[in-house]
Amino acid sequence: MSAAYGPNPWQQAHWDWRAAGNFICGGAGGGLVTFTVLSGIDGILAKLLLLAGLGLVGLGLLCVWLEIGRPLRALNVFLNPRTSWMSREALVSGLLFALGLGLLIDIGALGVPAVVAALAFMYCQARIVQAARGIPAWREPLTVPLLVTTGLAEGAGLFWVMIAFQARGGALFAALFGALVLARWLLWRAWRARIAASAAPRALAAIDASGRNLQRFGGAVALALIILPATGLLTGGWAALLLAIAGALVAATGVHFKFTLITRASFNQGFVLKRLPVRGVPRS
C-alpha cells in the first residue's frame, strides 16, 4: 500500500478534468435545453440553442468515454439502472437526445417531456457526485440541489449570451435568471457551512478560492446587472447586453466551481476506525 494512504485525507486520483468536463458540460447543456424550451422562443434561434444544449451534453458524455480505461466496454454502463446513478444518467441522456431531436423537427408537444428529461439528467449527475461517500465535499446532501441549480444557472447564462443580439426573452425570464443566481448563491453558502467540519483544509481552501469568484462575480455583480432588465426598467439592446454580461459571469464562475469541486476539492476523509484492537484487552 502506498505511503499516501492512512488516517490523513488524500486527494482522489480517479476523476480528472475529463470527469469534470462531464459535469460541467452536462449541467450547462441540460440547463440550456430547459431554459430554451421554457422561454418559448421558436424558429431557427430556438433550434440553434437546442443544438448547443444537446451538443454540450454530448461533449460531456464524450469526456466520460475518454476517461474509461476500456472504451469499447462503455455500453456496459446501461446494464445496471437499478442501483447505479451512472446507468440512470446514460439512459436519461438517450431519452433527452431523442426528445431534443423531436423538438428540432418541430414536434412541439415534446417540450415538457424534454424539460423533465433535462432536469432528470442533471439530477442523475448530481447524485453520481453525492454517492461518493468517502469524499466529504461530495457526499453532503446539499451537493445535489447545489449542482442542479448551478447547471440551471449556467444554462440560463449561456441562453442570454447566445441571444445577446436578439433583444428577446423579456423581464419574466430575466427575473427567473436572477432567482436561479440568488438560489445558487444561497445554496453555496449553506453547503460550504455544512462541509466546514468534515472536509480537509486543502479542500476547503480550493473551494473558497473558486467560491469567492462565484459569490462576487457570479453572484453579487451578476445580480446587479440583472436587476434593471428583470424589473422592466431597462429593455431592448441595453437590457440584452447587461443580461449577456451577467450570463457570461454566471457560466464562467459555475465552470470554475465545478472543475474545482471535482479535481481539487476531492480529498478523501482518510481511514476512520472507531475502534482499534489492543493486545490483551478483551473485546467489549
Instruction: Please give the pLDDT value at position 7.
Output: 60
Q: Which three cell numbers stand for residue 247?
A: 450570463
For residues 217 and 208, what is the distance between their CA atoms, to the nearest angstrom?
Answer: 14
> Quick check: 94 and 103 in contact, CB under 8 A?
no
The model's confidence at residue 274, banded by pLDDT at 50, 70 and 90, is: low
> For a pLDDT cut of 70, what percent of the chain falls above it?
88
Nearest CA among 145, 257, 235, 242 for reference residue 190: 145
Find the mean pLDDT for residues 131-136: 88
Cα angle 55-132-140, degrees, rounded to a multiple of 5: 95
CATH superfamily of the 17-263 domain: Formate dehydrogenase/DMSO reductase domain (1.20.1630.10)
The model's confidence at residue 4, banded by pLDDT at 50, 70 and 90, is: low
Find the mean pLDDT for residues 186-214: 95
Specify the 3-state DSSP secondary structure of 267: strand
> Quick check: 209 and 193 in contact, CB under 8 A?
no
Instruction: Please give the pLDDT value at position 174.
Output: 94
How do residues 92-113 score in pLDDT, each as one tens digit? 999 999 999 999 999 989 999 9
DSSP string of 43-69, one letter each residue: HHHHHHHHHHHHHHHHHHHHHHHHH-S
For residues 174 and 228, what is the distance between their CA atoms, to the nearest angstrom?
Answer: 9
Q: Bridge-partner residues for 267, per DSSP?
A: 11
Q: Which three cell numbers stand for residue 30?
A: 441540460
Instruction: Please give the pLDDT value at position 1.
Output: 41
Could you tell me how many residues make up the chain? 284
Find the mean pLDDT for residues 211-234: 94
For residues 227 and 175, what is the distance between their CA atoms, to the nearest angstrom?
Answer: 8
Q: What is the mean pLDDT of the chain?
A: 89
Find the mean pLDDT for residues 176-203: 95
Q: Counting beta carbons within 10 angstroms of the beta carbon of residue 272, is it exposed (0 to 12), middle (13 to 18) or buried (19 or more)? A: exposed
For residues 191 and 257, what is the distance between their CA atoms, to the nearest angstrom?
Answer: 13
How do residues 18-62 score in pLDDT, each as one tens digit? 999 999 999 999 999 999 999 988 889 999 999 999 999 999 999
Instruction: Please give the pLDDT value at position 11.
Output: 77
The model's confidence at residue 185, banded by pLDDT at 50, 70 and 90, is: very high
CB atoms within 10 A of CB 273: 7
For the cut 70, the answer to whether the pLDDT of residue 180 exceeds it is yes
For residues 177 and 170, what is the distance between their CA atoms, to the nearest angstrom?
Answer: 11
Find the mean pLDDT for residues 118-126: 97
* pLDDT higher at 168 or 25: 25
Find the mean pLDDT for residues 170-192: 95
> For a pLDDT cut of 90, what percent of the chain falls above it?
67
Phi first, then psi, for residue 11 (nearest 5°) are -85, 130
Query: Which parts of the chain fold into alpha helices (H)?
Result: 17-39, 43-67, 85-104, 111-130, 136-139, 143-162, 170-195, 201-215, 222-231, 236-263
Torsion angle defined by CA atoms of residues 20, 23, 28 and 33, in that order, rounded to the nearest 10 degrees: 150
